[in-house]
Structure 1
Amino acid sequence: MIIVSFVSFVLLWFHYFTLLCQFILEGVKTMTYEESLTYLANLTKFGINLGLARIEKLLELMDHPERKFKTIHIAGTNGKGSTTAMLASILRASGINTGMYTSPHLSAYTERMIVNGKEITPDQFGEAIAYTSRFMDKIVAQGLGHPTEFEVLTAAAFYYFAACGVEYAVIEVGLGGLLDSTNVIMPEISVITNVTLDHTDKCGNTVREIAHHKSGIIKKNVPVITGAQGEALDVIKNISQKSAAICYVYREDFSATFLEMEGECQRIMVAVGTERKAVPFLVNLLGGHQVDNCAVAVMTAMVLGKNEKRIDLSAIEKGLLTVRWPGRFEVMPGRPTVIIDGAHNPDGMRALRENLDRFCKGKNIVFLLGILQDKDVKTMVMTLIRSQDKVVVVAPMSERAGKPEIVAREIKAEHVEVASSIEEGVKRAKLLAGEDDILCVAGSLYLIGAVRKIICS
């Protein structure tokens, strides 16, 4: 395994050197990392503009880097990031050169593009953005409008993965699925983790409408793995059938149950197939919700393994044991214990509360909370907060941040206060929490990344 890792490292830097030579020969102006961040910040004015015309033209001009490796496409309301991380870890453990594309990031843009477990370097990131940016004028000239930040990032990720010579890339959908910028790939497998209400302003006001959007990633004759239930599952099954795509369904074709804690991991039993032969796995991610995500990841790996013989049971075991996915019921030991979780919608808050009740039974809980203004704030706080809890509310680091005063009004708890900044919020929450209490940070990925950086530093 050491030899495989060394070879992967050498190949990665060979492709990086080739990329640099290409820039020099073509006379392409590069960007520093700081310049690329400024460039991306200027793209936020184009907002979220769903549609595939711009990204399709951009990738055509870039000679279709997304066609130079195989992909697994992952959509879902919750759990798609964790499932993406599990699958990338399994592929890597199989000795496969693996890319992983996720969003948003917690602390730095480089987190979004990972090859063989290593983030893209700041210099490589700047160069990938610089190369992608050279095609903007041509797209605008064709009347398609300017590509958005996410479209540029997605194209840059595909370009970077192709330059690194990855064999597979696990691609997380940004928003929805049907019109998402990532929906230009022809994957080996399409995965829909689950479907609940979220992003109703973009994907529809009902579970059925949202399920239709997420089912947009289903392709003809491409297997589908889903953890969805109820009416969302009806939509997914219907679209899969119309696409002649075999659909593997959680609790019908495969299932999972929590067995026990073992150190800082949880042992999960996964049963697959008509005979439901059960296999136990140690998973390096905490939380009851990870049982469902683990089942979906294992089923996806097993279906992929039918043709990709490097994926076997030992690789799945190793991948799940070594997976890392920061900010998802992440426990940071200390006094008080800090738990950081990316829950940012009602269903995510429900899962978080269940995990707190399960793993932190009898502990007092202080929340540091920040929620975006386009979320269902009332339902979220009612689901998460209990009357005996203490809460400090702050604004996440986003232009869509909900005003802390408005969020605080919806909270019915023993103690609720508003802090003027995230730094101040961390200080206040630590003061409110006793040494044996739990400080839980939640509400938005745009909050937990900033808090994690403060705590880690």
Structure 2
Amino acid sequence: MTYEETMDYLVSLTKFGISLGMERISRLVELMQHPERRFKSIHVTGSNGKGSTTAMLAAIMTASGIKTGMYTSPHLDDYPERMIVNGKQIAREEFAQAINYTRKFVEQMLTEGYEHPTEFEILTAAAFYYFAAVGVEYVVVEVGLGGLLDSTNVIVPEVSVVTNVTLEHTDRCGGTVAEIATHKAGIIKEGIPVVTGAGGAALDVITRTAVEKQAKVYTYGREFSNSYHGMMDGRQKISFQSSTLGNIDAQVNLLGFHQVDNSAMAIATALVLAQKDKRITFDAIQKGLRTVTWPGRFELVAGKPIIVIDGAHNPDGARVLRKNLDEVFPGKNITFALGILRDKDVTGIIRELIKPNDTVVTVQPLSYRAATPEEIAQVIEAKHVEAAASIDAGIERAKELAGPEGIVCVAGSLYLIGEARQVIYK
């Protein structure tokens, strides 16, 4: 298949939707001779921060001189963003080849009577094949949804990471934090160390699972801590402390106070790995954090008006985004270009993000799961609310309403961010 034919094939797979379960992916990687066993891995899940933590870890591993892959989802602009090696995304031709190779085994599965794998399952298997084929040593793997029944859970990692747990995906992972934590804790493997930033009932579930699996747990706020010490050269200065792992000062090239927590997770994980792999040094950790990039997460675009781009796809993420906006732009009313998926907690996101004096232009993310602009607008109480016909029109209208001295924030879904970045940077 050409790259264009590959895109058509992937689009055709969306009809299978999201279907959690391990039977299909397990058979698929088995037929492919288990590419996921040909590299070491780090597995990252959590309600918020898992993407940033994944990016930080991959940057640290690369800075350590280790050939490192990174698998994330969803993409912002194009599918190849999901498969990165040493900071460089897979070429389109290689991506098409990996999908085409995987498709042969999908067809074999179907002849055996298996259900058709989902898009994400095929992407995951293709990514593992690609990473194995190019000879990476480590892959940092971000969970797609939950953990226990996510297709990435065929790996047996060197470290399991659970950044935090809040209410999300309640239709698939349960209606309580404890039930959702059970899915997140599903990535914990026998004897494999766990790094977590979870607390309360979620931490109870994670700790209990780890005890059952005889897995050592490193908990944020107990075994390690992190503190913010201002800005330097456009980066956040942080100080990581742990009586068991060591102390390190660093600068983080990602903005937003939530990145203090995410960098703590990345540093703790790297130091756990360093107990076995001496290539992972303090210098490498500092270099990785100083150079890491992760678009679409409190991404500031200078101009008139200033634009902030952030996924903020659940209430907790929206709360953090609002806190960052209020602290970085004190006293400013915000003009939002807001798009949310229908299966998310739309009301909860709006409650945490929007204030009465804000202005909101609603848009529709590029997903079949997206709520319409009119549906979102109906539940917003703000100074001014209107629906836009497209993402492009919505951003332009938000800029107009904000004025040259205002602040525009594009938020509500990662499926919105890719198109928004194309519009903003054109």
Q: Counterparts of 2:59 and 2:261 in 1: how far apart (Å)?
A: 17
Superposed displacement of residue 434, structure 1: 1.6
Structure 1 portions without partners, runs of 5+: 1-30
What letter is aligned with 1:388?
N
Q: Check conservation: 1:363, 1:436, Cα contact below 8 A.
A: no
Residue 166 of structure 2 is aligned to residue 196 of structure 1 = yes
Count of residues in correspondence between the two structures: 426
DSSP 3-state at the match of 1:391: strand
Structure 2 vs 1, CA of residues 51 and 277 (structure 1 numbering), >3 Å: closer, same or farther? Answer: closer
Amino acid corresponding to residue 309 of structure 1 in structure 2: K
Mapping of residues 324-403 of structure 1, within 5 Å:
324-403=293-372
Give the Cα separation in 1 of the matches to 2:295 and 2:363. 21
Which residue identity is paired with 2:110?
A: V
Alpha-carbon separation, structure 1, partners of 2:395 and 2:261: 32
Is the Cα contact below 8 Å between 1:67 and 1:185 reproduced in 2? yes
Which digits, 9 at most, give the CA deviation of each residue in 1:81-107, with x for residues without a partner? 000000000000000000000000000
Q: Distance in 1 between matches of 2:386 and 2:222?
A: 46
Deviations 1:98-122 (A, max 9, x none): 0000000000001000001000011
CA distance in 2, matches of 1:168, 1:191: 15
Q: 1:154 to 1:277 in 2, by over 3 A?
A: closer
Is the 2:40–2:138 contact (alpha carbons within 8 Å) kept by the matching residues of 1?
Answer: yes
Q: Does the 8 Å contact 2:71/2:82 carry over to 1?
A: yes
Cα displacement (A) at 1:66: 0.6
- For residues 388 and 300 of structure 1, the distance between their equivalents in structure 2, rounded to whole angstroms, comes to 41
- Once the two structures are superposed, the pairs formed by residues 125-136 of structure 1 within 5 Å of their partners are 125-136=95-106
1:427 corresponds in structure 2 to 396
What is the aligned counterpart of 2:48 among 68, 75, 78? 78
* Code of the aligned partner of 1:75: T
Within 5 A, what are the aligned runs for 1:404-443? 404-443=373-412
* 2:319–2:352 Cα contact (<8 Å) kept: yes
Equivalent of residue 248 in structure 1, options 218, 221, 237: 218
Tell me the secondary structure at the aligned position of residue 84 of structure 1: helix
Q: Compute the RMSD of aligned alpha carbons.
A: 0.9
Match of 1:312 in 2: 281
CA contact (8 A) 1:105 1:112 kept: yes
* Deviation sequence 1:385-422 (CA, Å, 0-9, x none): 11111110011111011121121121111111100111
Query: In 2, distance between residues paired with 1:165 and 1:307?
Result: 20
Q: Out of 73, 78, 94, which is 2:64 matched to?
A: 94
CA distance in 1, matches of 2:311, 2:425: 17
Aligned-pair CA distance for 1:248: 0.4
Deviating above 6 A after TM superposition, structure 1's stretches of 4 or more consecutive aligned residues are none
Q: Is 1:118 paired with 2:88?
A: yes
In 2, the alpha carbon distance for the partners of 1:142 and 1:198 equals 35
List aligned pairs for 1:2-401, cutoff 5 A: 31-273=1-243, 278-401=247-370
Residues in 2 aligned to 1:238 and 1:405: alpha-carbon distance in whole angstroms:
44
Instruction: State the secondary structure of the residue aligned to 1:453.
Output: helix
Structure 1: how far apart are the matches of 2:227 and 2:114?
48
- Cα deviation for residue 143 of structure 1 reads 2.2
Moved more, 156-165 or 141-150: 141-150
User: 2:263 is aligned with what amino acid?
Assistant: C
Assess if the C-alpha contact under 8 Å between 1:211 and 1:235 holds in 2: yes
Per-residue CA shift, 1:183-234, capped at 9, x if unaligned? Answer: 0011000000000000011101000000001100000000000000110000
Give the letter for the 1:193 counterpart.
T
**Using the alignment, how far apart are the partners of 1:37 and 1:264 within structure 2?**
38
CA drift at 1:141: 2.2
Q: State the TM-score, normalizing by the size of structure 2.
A: 0.99
Residues in 1 aligned to 2:196 and 2:111: alpha-carbon distance in whole angstroms: 40
User: 1:277: Cα distance to partner?
Assistant: 5.5
Quote how far apart the aligned CAs of 1:363 are: 2.4
Q: Is the 8 A contact 2:359 2:384 kept in 1?
A: yes
Distance across 2 between alignment mates of 1:226 and 1:330: 25
Q: 1:38-86 CA distances to partner (integer Å, 9 max, x unpaired)?
A: 0111111111111111111111111111111000000101000000000
TM-score (ref. length: structure 1): 0.92
Residue 183 of structure 1 aligns to a residue whose secondary structure is: helix
Please tell me whether the aligned partners of residues 58 and 70 of structure 2 are also in contact (alpha carbons under 8 angstroms). Answer: yes
